[in-house]
A and B are shown apart, each in its own frame.
Chain A
Amino acid sequence: RKEVEQDPGPFNVPEGATVAFNCTYSNSASQSFFWYRQDCRKEPKLLMSVYSSGNEDGRFTAQLNRASQYISLLIRDSKLSDSATYLCVVNLGGYNKLIFGAGTRLAVHP
């Protein structure tokens, strides 16, 4: 089993749609979770951290389910500019060893 698994997509959605991505992780001791966004031929950039109680940042909501070892990202009212690959990131122990999922590609169309 991979350490971090994501549905690769692509998710093709119209503007204004709500879309959700899930990610599962294998190490129950993981403590830090993030969602990154990567545009084509660019470096990954932090979208948001994921907190135990769930957190929201504008149109983006992240949830953590420790019992089932998955995290999710919900995007409401999708914009064309949301088109990108979304990477789930989990730490595997101390010293900030961060492992990336393969990414889920989102394409928002008019």
Chain B
Amino acid sequence: DAGVIQSPRHEVTEMGQEVTLRCKPISGHNSLFWYRQTMMRGLELLIYFNNNVPIDDSGMPEDRFSAKMPNASFSTLKIQPSEPRDSAVYFCASSPAGTGTSPLHFGNGTRLTVT
């Protein structure tokens, strides 16, 4: 099992640029989550999908953030335009079921720096 795969591992961009983060969940997992982690705010849930459908996006900070899951094996998190305060580690995670009883499997994360 390859685990959750995220790309890129590191992203450095200038303010105002578009950033796209990618995630491939573990095959067979029905739920996918995007988290953001900073020193000040810890791990924040941004959005999660169940069977490719967005269930709760209340954690998405602003309209500059959007996420899609066009199929069961791929998801993107896009920031447009990016701002320095978006600098953080963005984690994607998946779990096998959407019943509230399954733990999450995390990818290695994307470390985003916006200058």
Contacts and interface: CB of A to CB of B under 8 A. Distances in A.
Q: What band does the interface of chain A fall in when counting residues whose beta carbon is under 8 Å from B?
A: 20 to 34
Contacts of A43: 91, 106-109
A45 B43 CA distance: 13
A98 B33 contact: yes
Interface in A71-110: 87, 89, 91, 93-103
Nearest to B104: A98
Interface of A: 31-32, 34, 36, 42-46, 49, 87, 89, 91, 93-103
Nearest to B101: A32
Nearest to A97: B56
Contacts of B95: 96
Q: Is the interface of A mostly helix, strand, loop or mixed?
A: loop
Contacts of B100: 31-32, 91, 93-97
B51 to A, nearest CB: 10
Contacts of A94: 98-100
B90 to A, nearest CB: 11
B97 to A, nearest CB: 7
Nearest to B95: A96
A99 B91 CA distance: 14
B50 interface: yes
B42 A100 contact: yes
A95 B48 CA distance: 9
Contacts of A98: 33, 45, 104
A42 to B, nearest CB: 8
A95 B108 contact: no
Contact of A103 (B42, B55, B106): B42
Given A94-B99, A95-B56, A102-B42, 19 more contacts: A32-B100, A34-B103, A42-B108, A43-B109, A44-B43, A44-B91, A45-B106, A89-B103, A91-B100, A94-B98, A94-B100, A95-B48, A96-B97, A96-B99, A96-B101, A97-B48, A97-B55, A98-B33, A98-B45
